[in-house]
A and B are shown apart, each in its own frame.
Chain A
C-alpha cells in the first residue's frame, strides 16, 4: 500500500552503495544480518587509516577525533529513537548483550522469589534465555503469551496475565521468525498500568520503522547495529535514566570507574558506567554512519518500500502449490516471510537456492519455542530491506520451482 505522496526509495541508487550486491547475489536474509553500504565501511576505514587510537584517555589529536566520532554516534542514536538524553544510550555488542545487561543489572536486584515475568512465544532466544537464567537464580516464574492461527499475539491472554501483576514484561516489537508486528504501544501502556517494568526487543523493529521510545513508553529498548546497515559488534540499550541510575554495573574494569582505591571503587556516570573495557570503536563509528544513512532515506520510506516488497513476495509465494505461509497478512508484518514446501526440507531448498545465488535462511531462526508451537522443526525464511528489489523475489520463486522440479 505505497500510497501516492508517500516517500519512495530510489532502490537502483541505493544498490550502488552496496558493493557486495555486484557479486550477483539475491540477498534475502536481512533479518539475519543486513548488508553494509560503502558509507558505513568507509567511516570505519577512515578510523583505521586516519585516526585509529583509543578513546577517553589519550591527550593527542587523533584520539580526540576518535573520541568525538565515537561519542557522536550516541547523539545520532538518541535522535534516531527520540530518547530524552544521551545518558540513556548504552553501547553494547548487540541486542543479546543489551538484554543480558538488563537481566543481570536490573533483574538480579529487582526480581524476587515468586515474581512473575511475562514473555511471548514469538520471542527470539535472546529474549528468553537471559530471563530463564534470572528466574532460576531468583526463584521467579515465567509465563509466555501464546499466538493465534495468524501468528499474532493473543492479547486477551496478555491482559489476563497482567492481572497477576508481573514484575517484568519483555517482548519483541517485531517477530524475527514470522514478521508479526506486535501492537507495542498498546502492550507497553497496559503493562505499565499493571505496574510492570517493560523491555522491548527492537532487534527487528528499529531497522524497519521509525522508533520513538518516549512515545512507546517502555523502560528498556534493545537493538543491534548489524541488522540496520551497521557492522556486527555494536548495538544499543536504551534505558530510562531513573532506572539506569539505580542499576549496578554489568561488566566492570577499565573506563567504567571514577576512582579505584584498595578500599573500594566509585563508578562512572551514565552511560559509561555500563561500558567497561576497550570498546568496539570502529563498529560504533560504523553504526553512526548507518544511522546517518537511514536518516537520509527516511524511515517512513524504508517502511513503505519493505511493505511493497513484502506484499509482492507474499502474493508471488501464495501462487505456488504446496507452499505454506506462516504468520499474518502482509499489511500486518514486517519484511519477513517464513514458509515451508511440501516434501522439501527447508535446508534442501536453501541449498538449491544457493546454487542460484539466492541467499535464504533455513532453520529455527533462534525461536525454537515458536517452531514447537507451529509444529515444525524448521522453516525457510526470506527477509527484505532497503536494497531488495522485485526481481530478487522472482529469483526466489524460480529457485522454489526448481526445487519442486528436482524433488518431484
Chain B
C-alpha cells in the first residue's frame, strides 16, 4: 500500500470520528477541532513509536475515552448548549458584509412600521368606527403578506394575482349597500357583521398563498403555513402577555406623578404596537423554524386527552338531560366552536406527526376525540333540524349552519381516514393530505359569506 492511500484511509477514519463527535450537541464545533488536533498529535506520536496508522488511530480514539461520558462531561460544563438557542442575527461570515445580515431584521421592522403607519392613517383619515374596523385587516395584512413575498422571493405576477383577489372582498365590504339596524344607535346588520368577520379569514388564507411562495398547490407548503400559523399564535400570545405587563407597570409608575398614559396608549402605542407585534412574531417564527421545538403540537398532546374527557362528559350530559332547551343560533355557534377546537387539535398533531410512525395510543385517542365531537354535534344538529324550519333561514343561522357543515365534512372524512389508519389499511399520509387538501374550502366558504351572502339576504 502506498503512503498516499494509507493517509487517505486514516483521513476517512478521522472524518468518521469527527462526524460521530459532531452529533453530540454538548460538544461545539470548536471543541471538536480542539479534540481532533489532540487525536492527530496522538496518532503521529504513536506512529513514531512504530504503530501503523490503523493501530494508532484505534489507540488514540480509545484514549480519548467513551464519547458518551466525555459528552456528558462537556454538557455539565456547558449546560446551556443542550438548550437550543435562537440566533436571530446570523454570525458574520467571512465573505458576507456586516450589513447584509441585518437586512432581514431591517425589512421586518420596516414592514412593522409601515403597518403601524397604515393603521394610524386609517384611524385619522377614515370617519366612523365601523369603517375603521372593517378595513383593519386590509391595511395590516398586506404588510405581512409583503414580507412573505420578500422572504420567499415570490414573482411579481403571483403577488399581483393575490392582490387582485384580495381587492374583491376589500371592495365588497366597503361598497356593498349594507343596511343598518334601525333605532337610536344604528349598528351594522347581520350580513355586514358576517362579511366583516369573514373577510379577514379570507385575507389570511390569501396571505398564506404568499407564505407558500406562490406554490400554494404544494401540500407540504400548505402544511408549513399551518405550522407557521400555530407558532405565530403562540408567539403572539407570549408577546402580548409581556407587553401587558410592561404597559401595566408603565401606567402604574406614571400614575405616581399624575401622568395619564391613556391618550398616548390609544393614539400611538396600540396602532403601532399590535401590527408590530404581529410582524415581529411572524419573523421570530420563521427564524426559529428549525431551531426550537414547535409549541402548538406539544399543547395538542396535552389537551387532546382532556378534550376527549370534556366531550364525553358533554355527550353524556346532553343525552341524559335532553331534549335541549334552547335551540337557536347560539347553540350552532357553540357547536362550531367545539368543532373548530377539535379541528385545531387534530390539525396540529397531524402537522407534527412523523408519517412513517406506526399507529399508536395517541392516534386512537385522536379518533375518539373526533368521534366524540361528531356525536355531540349530531345531537345538537338533530335537535336543531326539527325546528329550523319554523325559524326560517336568516343570514346568521345559514352562516353558522354552513360552517358547521363545512367542518363536519372535514372531520367526518378525517375520522374515516383515521379509522383506516389505526386498523392498518391506510397510510398516515392520507390523513395529512386530506387536511391540507381541504384548506381552500375554508377560503371558498369565507368568500361566499363575504361576497354572496349580502346580496342573497338583501344586505339585511
- A associates with B: no
Listed in ascending order, the chain B residues whose CB lies under 8 Å from chain A are: none
